[in-house]
Amino acid sequence: MDEADFMRGRVYGADHDDAGPRPDRAYAQLVGGPLDGLLLDVTDHPDGDLPEVALTTEIGRYGPGGRALYVRRPADGGRFDWRGDAPSTL
């Protein structure tokens, strides 16, 4: 996949009507799991500052309110690999 294909993805948490990446933001790709292929906005987190994320999703193992767990890939900070799902923290 070249950079142009990568940037055509949808951004996690973005408004459905405008879910494409913006040129003034930095993104990492989510790999595997329920959010596979989505882009995560990492603009406010320099490389290594965001080693893992727990993202709310309705399509994971635990349904609405559940979390998809992703960890930054050590050799490629532009990708976060899926590590599993977790129940809601509420």
Per-residue pLDDT tens over the stretch 41-75: 999 987 668 899 999 898 888 888 899 999 999 88
Q: Of 9-13, 26-30, 46-50, which has the strongest mean pLDDT?
A: 26-30
Question: What is the structure's pLDDT at 70?
Answer: 96
What length does the chain have? 90
- Residue 4, pLDDT > 60, answer no
Q: Where are the beta strands (DSSP E) in 1-90?
A: 27-31, 39-41, 52-57, 66-73, 76-86
Measure the CA–CA gap between 60 and 65, rounded to whole angstroms.
Answer: 9
Q: What is the mean pLDDT of the chain?
A: 85
Tell me the pTM: 0.83
